[in-house]
Chains A and B, each alone.
Chain A
Amino acid sequence: MRKLGRLIAPLLLASLSAAALAGPELLNVSYDVMRDFYKDLNPAFQKAYKAQTGQDVTVQQSHGGSGKQARAVIDGLEADVITMNMPPDIDALYDKAKLIPENWAARLPNASLPFTSLQVLIVRKGNPKGIKDWSDLAKPGVQVVMPNPKVTGNGRYSYLAAWGYALRQPGGNPQKAAEFVGAILKNVPVLDSGGRAATTTFMQRQIGDVLLTFENEAEMIAREFGRGGFEVVYPSLSVRAEPPVTVVDKVVDKKGTRKEAEAYLKFLWSPAAQEIAAQNYLRPQDPAVFKKYAAQFPAVKLFTVDEVFGGWRNAQKTHFDDGGTFDQIYTKK
């Protein structure tokens, strides 16, 4: 219910019309995990923008699951800017409602990715099962906790990471990859419907030997549960998590907020914003900032979805749409 409240509140506020408030107002719609990052970022942006233009800008926020938020915008939630945890959720804004141009990703640096993350393995303190890499997850007797790839971006990244790892092994091919990922899924006792729910299952209910999630989620766990209960294991190879941002053209043109919305997103690439990202354990794109925080970002060999799966649309269709490899793994049993 609180989630609904968070969703409705900005709507109500937005309907109060900007006239009643000083300066323009942006609605920033993003997925759950971005809450803390934007909470830190907004005051910094407001200060910088005021210094630059002398204008006050208010930023309203709305958070929820990535796909759910994308659907809310498609159905008419007037977001000026949007941050999703994978590109397909932004593609959908073009596919379903033509709210943005097809080449939206080309409009900002780094294909509109102000920062990245990656999938890591989180194990119990002391790593009692000796888990070092994806291959350890397919062994009998290892319990794996991950969110559901059918309904969460987080789960999709883990699935793709394991699949990509299997492909890149000597003699790897799609057939072997399917068997490998199938063996991992056999070890999954519960496929939670959200990333945070999977964390709760692993940390609070003490279920499973390993949790698959984003690197920045590991920091959340440390803040929430203390650093004594788990260890982060970096696999030999992982997938790059790509949370893109975009201005929602149809909305900003209607509201007349294009200038502010574009400035807001450009600000994400400023050194100050890149630092805030690093403090939230999101890997900054700015090399200087990355270097400064290098201690908290171990070097990991990464592949991108574009490199291994021929793009996001392809990955979604082949693996997660109905009848894709995920469904096949379960229905072939």
Chain B
Amino acid sequence: MKPRVLPGFGLSFGYTIVYLCLIVLLPLSALVLKTSELTLAHFWQVVTGERVMAAYRLTFGASLIAALINLFAGLLVAWVLVRYPFPGKRLIDALVDLPFALPTAVAGIALTTLYAPNGLIGQYLAPLGIQVAFKPLGVVVALTFIGLPFVVRTVQPVLQDLEAELEEAAACLGANRWQTFRKVIFPAALPALLTGFTLAFARAIGEYGSVIFIAGNIPLESEIVPLLIIGKLEQYDYAGATAIATVMLAISFVLIFVINLIQWWHGRRHGMRK
């Protein structure tokens, strides 16, 4: 153990653990407890049903695609906002936060209106045979919308802190632009990118309000997992609902944990203090 600079570790650590237990672990244990009403065989039967599996695929698949889109789009937006002065920059910057601020149901209704076959965007896609609303594609669109701010807001400060001198030094040493990006900028931004990606992904998995209007809710085709949970609740099958929720939680936790591991490993490799 290194001697610590700040005193009071014991107190603050204790406080952290208690707080996390109350706010995070307690509701989660209630969830698992409710699930334990089921026998293991029944639990397995509930969480591996054909429709549930199809919904897992849609929810996790669409969330992953949406988070990947946001990874690239978010980096680009953050880059533009940090590096280039242009008129209306403050406004654009504020616009990025809009998906945060908008109530999800409002976002869902607005997106459905846009992408419905008679909507502003949908009417041009319909003749091309592309239907967004009420199809899995719509789910991806909605999840991309709500996830964008996460990546932008996590990468922005990192890019801001990255001095231009670094890039200039790289250029002086003969690096071309691509090399500068690959060897200087990207490694510095990667931890933040991964954090943003994780946040966008995690948020998308649990998303209900913005997706429910644009998904078609057709069994085996366009049902998201939260809808199935509501379906169980409508039968007053609390245990079945929490079983599906618990599985979602477990999968999410594993995925987020893996991404955190990657970050940690990356940090060690590049000798950055985490």
Residues of A within 8 A of B (CB): 1, 67-68, 71, 92, 95-96, 148, 150-151, 188-193, 197, 200, 204-207, 316, 320-322, 327, 330-331, 333
Contact = CB atoms under 8 A, between A and B. Distances in A.
B235 A193 contact: no
16 contacts: A1-B105, A67-B234, A148-B227, A150-B234, A188-B218, A190-B216, A190-B217, A192-B213, A193-B227, A205-B113, A205-B116, A205-B118, A206-B117, A322-B237, A330-B219, A331-B50
B216 A316 contact: no
B220 A193 contact: no
Given A150-B234, A333-B220, A189 B240 contact: no
Contact of B240 (A1, A148, A322): A322
A31 to B, nearest CB: 13
Contact of B235 (A1, A192, A205, A322): A322
Contact of A151 (B51, B118, B230): B230
Given A151-B227, A331-B50, A190 B218 contact: yes
Given A150-B231, A205-B112, A191 B117 contact: no
B233 interface: yes
A331 B118 contact: no
Given A151-B231, A331-B50, A331-B51, A191 B218 contact: yes
B133 interface: yes
Contacts of A95: 236
Nearest to A206: B118
A1 B49 CA distance: 32
Given A192-B217, A193-B217, A330 B51 contact: yes
B119 A321 contact: no
Contacts of B145: none
A304 B237 CA distance: 26
Q: Which of B231, B233, B240 has the most CB of A within 10 A?
A: B231
A316 B50 CA distance: 21
Interface of B: 46, 49-51, 103, 105, 109, 112-113, 116-119, 133-134, 212-213, 216-220, 227, 230-237, 240
Given A1-B103, A330-B51, A193 B236 contact: no
Given A205-B113, A327-B51, A330-B219, A190 B134 contact: yes
Nearest to A191: B217
Given A1-B105, A148-B217, A206-B118, 6 more contacts: A95-B236, A96-B236, A191-B218, A205-B133, A330-B51, A331-B51
Contacts of B234: 67, 150-151, 320
Instruction: Rank and list the top 9 A-B pairs by shortest CB-CB distance, nearest first.
Output: A330-B219, A205-B116, A150-B231, A190-B134, A191-B217, A67-B234, A190-B216, A206-B118, A1-B103
A207 B217 contact: no
Nearest to A317: B235
Contacts of A68: 233
A92 B238 CA distance: 12
Nearest to B115: A205
A207 B116 CA distance: 8
A316 B234 CA distance: 10
B120 to A, nearest CB: 12
Nearest to B231: A150
B119 A205 contact: yes
Q: Which of B219, B233, B240 has the most CB of A within 10 A?
A: B219
Nearest to B219: A330
B116 A193 contact: no
Contacts of B232: 322
Contacts of A331: 50-51, 219-220
Contacts of B105: 1
Given A193-B227, A207-B116, A320 B235 contact: yes
Given A1-B103, A330-B51, A331-B51, A191 B236 contact: no
Contacts of A333: 220
Nearest to A152: B234
Contacts of A197: 212-213
B236 A92 contact: yes
Contacts of A206: 116-118
A193 B230 contact: yes
Nearest to B237: A322
A135 to B, nearest CB: 23
